[in-house]
Amino acid sequence: MLLFTPGPTPVPESIRMEMARPTIHHRTPEFEACFKQAREGLLAMIKMPEVLMLASSGSGAMEACVRAFCAKKLLSINSGKFGERFAKIAQAYNIPNQEITNEWDTPVSVEAIINALQADEQIDAVCVQVCESAGGLRHPVEAIAQAVKQHNPDIMVIADAITAMGVEPIDTSHIDALIGGSQKAFMLPPGMSIIGLSQKAVLMAEERDVGFYFNLKTELKNQRNNTTAWTAPTTIITGLVKYFSDIEALGGMEAIYSQTRQRALATRVALEAIGLKIYPKAPALAMTTIFDEKHASQIRKILKNEFCLNLAGGQDRLKTSIFRINHMGMIPIHEALWVVNAIELALERLGVRSFDGRANAVFLQHYYS
């Protein structure tokens, strides 16, 4: 069965083999050397002054950032389940919160955010997804961050890049906290989150000194010395070092970004060519989301039962009306190609369209020319 869900993504054999080696103790020079390599790889990737690795899924880092960087009131963007999560975190800690809510196919506008900030001077932090995975939507995060800082440089910008880090280059020049997760484009098992920090965020974390397990001040102090406050997710970190060396061998991050982009765009045009509809108005590169109220569930079932493909459905109100195809990670081109072929075959099984190999042809033309 090929795993094509937008997280967790499959863990490549080279990384699995690396992680199968004997566990090293986290308070040793060997592990510190490994931690240093992982840190340097991440810093080079996200181009920010600091980075932290935490033993938690992505939501743990979201919670840590809301607590560390919002002192008064949070503005969060709800265009899906993950944006909604920021508001739930605020509620759990009695942090006042305002939400901008849109349909799950609609990105937030820069104007809507600036209007909200102008209307309420209490707001001191803005949370937004780079890619909102509920619908595979790309928010204009870089433009939002720049406009927020122009409006007031003291307002903190927290970007959930869990399905963007490792997918595409992100301009982090105006972002204070950039969140990542091991189980998405890094192709690692679930269990580690990442937070890139601006200089301003570092100072604020140190000044505010909030929380215990997710205390970013404590982590900064330790991680600058290549160790962690609590037991590190050592196995995942050794896997991350292997990920960076595999990427180097494949031509570096830029090569991965460009392949991911080409694969995503080729998938999109191939599926449109066989009559399918792309769901979001601004599709992200991490995944392709197809909207088909009538057939989405059946297509997924056929792909699983007959063609060995595991794709994701939707959540909540979109549970049965969309399906999502992952593009994150180092995906062999023949696997991505098999996905569009199998979807075209599924449409024939459902009597929607007779098979003529069009998806395959369009994908290849687009990818190679």
Ligand X SMILES: *Cc1c(COP(=O)(O)O)cnc(C)c1O
In the complex, least distance from residue 194 CB atom to ligand X, rounded to whole angstroms: 11
Peptide bond into 8 cis (omega under 30): yes
Footprint of ligand X on residues 60-119 (CB under 6 A)?
A: 82
Binders of ligand X: how many residues, by CB under 6 A?
11
Query: Smaller CB distance to ligand X: residue 7 or 280?
Result: 7
Among 5, 9, 37, 59, binds ligand X (CB under 6 A): 59
In the complex, least distance from residue 34 CB atom to ligand X, rounded to whole angstroms: 23
Among 41, 181, 283, 329, binds ligand X (CB under 6 A): 181
Footprint of ligand X on residues 252-281 (CB under 6 A)?
A: none
Q: Decide if residue 162 touches ligand X (CB under 6 A).
A: yes
Q: How many CB atoms lie within 10 A of CB 235?
A: 18
In the complex, least distance from residue 190 CB atom to ligand X, rounded to whole angstroms: 6
Tokens of 75: 């503005």
76 vs 38: CA distance, rounded Å: 30
303 vs 298: CA distance, rounded Å: 9
15 vs 165: CA distance, rounded Å: 18
Query: Smaller CB distance to ligand X: residue 302 or 331?
Result: 331
In the complex, least distance from residue 360 CB atom to ligand X, rounded to whole angstroms: 29
Locus of tokens 């993950």: 82
Q: Read off the amino acid at residue 322.
A: I
Site map 121..140 versus ligand X, x via CB under 6 A: --------x---x-------
Q: In what order do the strands lie in the sheet with 193-197?
A: 50-54, 193-197, 177-181, 156-160, 123-129, 73-78, 97-101
Percentage helix, strand, coil for the chain under 3-state DSSP, each rounded to 5? 45, 15, 40
Query: Smaller CB distance to ligand X: residue 35 or 82?
Result: 82
Q: Decide if residue 329 touches ligand X (CB under 6 A).
A: no
73 vs 95: CA distance, rounded Å: 6
Tokens of 42: 């991440």
In the complex, least distance from residue 157 CB atom to ligand X, rounded to whole angstroms: 16
Tokens of 190: 């679930």
Among 18, 63, 84, 160, binds ligand X (CB under 6 A): 160
Stretch that binds ligand X, among 155-163, 169-177, 271-279, 352-360 (CB under 6 A): 155-163
Residues that bind ligand X in the complex, under the rule CB under 6 A:
7, 57-59, 82, 129, 133, 160, 162-163, 181
